[in-house]
Amino acid sequence: MEKIWLQNYPPKIPYNIDELPSFNSIPEMFEHTCEEFSSLPAFYSMGVTLSFQQLEIESRALAAWFQTKLHLKKGDRIAIMLPNILQYPVAMFAALRAGLIVVNVNPLYTASELVHQVNDSGAKTIIVLSNFLRTVQQALPQTPIKHVIVTNIGDLFPKPKAFAIHFYLKYIARKIPFITIPGAHDFRDAILKGKTKTLTPVKITSEDIAFLQYTGGTTGVAKGAMLSHKNIVSNVLQAETWFSQLLTRGKEIMITALPLYHIFSLLANCFFISKIGGLNVLIANPRDIKRMVSDMSKIKFTVMTGVNTLFNALVKFPDFAKLDFSSLKMCLGGGMAVQRAIAEQWRQVTGVTLIEAYGLTEASPCVASNPADLKAYNGTVGLPLPSTDVCVLDDEGHEVPIGEVGELAIKGPQVMMGYWKNPLETAKVFTPEGWLLTGDIVSIDEKGYISIRERKKDMIIVSGFNVYPNEIEDVLARLAGVREVAVVGVPDRNSGEAVKAFIVKDRPDLTAEEVTSYCYNYLTGYKIPKQIEFCDELPKSNVGKILRRALRDSTVKVAS
């Protein structure tokens, strides 16, 4: 495909990141950043701030301890099972500086999920928050793990505050189990001992693996995407280039509600904002909207990332509109489709346009984004980033004309090396010409803007017609009385498949008849939901993405 999007790039945005200074590895980029912004705050959590200088010192000490105490060497895998707390960036950067490969683990995983990820990756070391120690204890006998490093939420806090928080969580709130793992190491003690050691420099090349980022768990067995140092550094530079005219180095304050172990937040928040000297305000539990809004009220934040469900929950929470948005410059939505109704409400409440971007784990993750100066929601995920090439393919692998629908395929320096020890799955997602098949059904207009129609596996076929759940969800989300909605395809004797809508009500008197009547005003007949089910809640992933597969399997709790 001709790179038609380049002519619509914002002014002064280069077409390629090759024109910019680069780094051979994440540690090289990290150390340069810490030196440049040493006195500035890097991460903030629960009233405690970690500066770039402190982050460099703590991560260096932990990396030295990895080498001298655990004798970990370049290429060893280390699992990090932490929520958004200060220990995450320290542990992650320490691991990378020691040449290790980071395996991010969702702390809410069950023991069986943890067993699969650890066994598949071959990680023999795990860092875990004490709150989730029981899961690790249950998984240990079935894994090759030799070293368990346990941390408490307050380990990087001043001692009085650390003790008070730990006492409350363990003895009053009962959030920390009364169990111990023989031979486990203490995180804080490891850093203290590491400060007496010297970190031996590790030669890391751009092609070395930095992360095994697991993906696909909602559609089958999770696979580890091999993301190299080059992949991550390239995507950071692509993001920095794209948003450089809006954001100011050393001045930005980012609300970090999405978990850092998720690829969207890892790249956009942990790496990108840190790279430009920004402060990450860590939200440990974004499901607690009341607490989150309270935390946001204390900070003059300038940037925020999130997914549609988070933005939806915030605009529907009364106290959110009372916040001071005068410093807010940019809000970036990704991870799932941003619905027009939510984007418009967000703009009305905050005065800032919700910029939709697009990415996937296999691309580190960002592929495309709307311009930073976007004036209003446009229903697209924007233009391909610098040094990124895209095309749209039909089922036979042939490129389709501009404006027609097909599967998005991409190339770029951010595209993964493949799936860890899984050549068969790797071969399925790469064409012979080297294009990564995303599994997303899209169209690209004459200006190069990409519109996501649906995940290939989620598309519904009604009597031969393609129906895209995102389109129907977008319509239903604008109906007064609908708090949340998800649409799936269900078997139908007459049409092969039919559309079913799961709705969480915003008002008790909303009826299925009202929903159907509303749909007739905006949708053609075969797109109108044939079944409507009202629910107490919709099943979601750890970052708030609605799990359509769970809905298809009828695991949602039905309201009485």
Angle at 142 between CA 138 and CA 147, to 5 degrees: 80
Angle at 427 between CA 426 and CA 433, to 5 degrees: 115
- In the prediction, which pLDDT does 484 show? 96
> 315-324, 328-337, 387-396: which has the minimum mean pLDDT?
328-337
> 148-157, 298-307, 425-434, 491-500: which has the minimum mean pLDDT?
491-500
- Please name the helix (run of DSSP H) or strand (run of DSSP E) that holds residue 226, with its range, or none: strand 223-228
- Per cent of the chain over pLDDT 90 is 84
Q: Is 404 helix (H, G, I), strand (E, B) or coil?
A: coil
Output phi, psi for 267, to 5 deg: -80, -55
Check pLDDT > 50 for residue 14. yes
Nearest to 337 by CA among 356, 353, 354: 356
The owner of tokens 């003790």 is 163
Check pLDDT > 50 for residue 395. yes
Check pLDDT > 90 for residue 231. yes
- In the prediction, which pLDDT does 560 show? 33
**Residue 293 CA to its chain's centroid (Å):** 20
Given a contact cutoff of 8 angstroms between Cβ atoms, the answer to whether 448 and 383 are in contact is: yes
Distance set, CA 463 to CA 418, 494, 499, 527 (Å):
37, 8, 11, 11
- In the prediction, which pLDDT does 216 show? 67
Check pLDDT > 50 for residue 353. yes
- In the prediction, which pLDDT does 437 show? 96
Reduced 3-state DSSP string for 323-388? CCCCCCCEEEECCCCCCHHHHHHHHHHHCCCEEEEEECHHHCCEEEECCCCCCCCCCCCCEECCCC
Q: What tokens appear for 273 in the block? A: 């904002």
Pinpoint the alpha helices (H) of 103-182: 111-121, 133-139, 159-167
For residues 16-36, give the mean pLDDT: 93
Q: State how beta strands 101-104 and 406-411 pair.
A: unpaired
Give 112-133 as a DSSP string: HHHHHHHHHHT--EEEEEGGGH
**Residue 537 CA to its chain's centroid (Å):** 22
Check pLDDT > 90 for residue 6. yes
Rg of the Cα atoms in the chain: 23
- pLDDT tens digit sequence for 407-439: 999 999 999 999 999 999 999 999 999 999 999
Polymer length in residues for the chain? 560
Percent of the chain that is helix, strand, coil (3-state, to 5): 35, 25, 40
Q: State how beta strands 450-455 and 436-444 pair.
A: antiparallel
Nearest to 530 by CA among 504, 495, 560: 495
d(CA 282, CA 496): 47
- pLDDT tens digit sequence for 144-158: 999 999 999 999 999
Rounding to the nearest 10 degrees, give the CA dihedral for residues 502, 505, 508, 513.
-50
Mean pLDDT across the chain, nearest whole number? 94
Angle at 53 between CA 52 and CA 56, to 5 degrees: 85
Pinpoint the alpha helices (H) of 187-333: 187-194, 229-243, 263-265, 274-275, 289-296, 308-315
What is the reported pTM? 0.88
Check pLDDT > 70 for residue 558. no
- pLDDT tens digit sequence for 252-279: 999 999 999 999 999 999 999 999 999 9
Check pLDDT > 80 for residue 221. no
Sheet strand arrangement including 389-393: 389-393, 406-411, 436-444, 450-455
pLDDT band at 555 (very low <50, low <70, confident <90, very high): very low
Given a contact cutoff of 8 angstroms between Cβ atoms, the answer to whether 250 and 276 are in contact is: yes
| Cis peptide upstream of residue 365 (ω within 30 degrees of 0) | yes
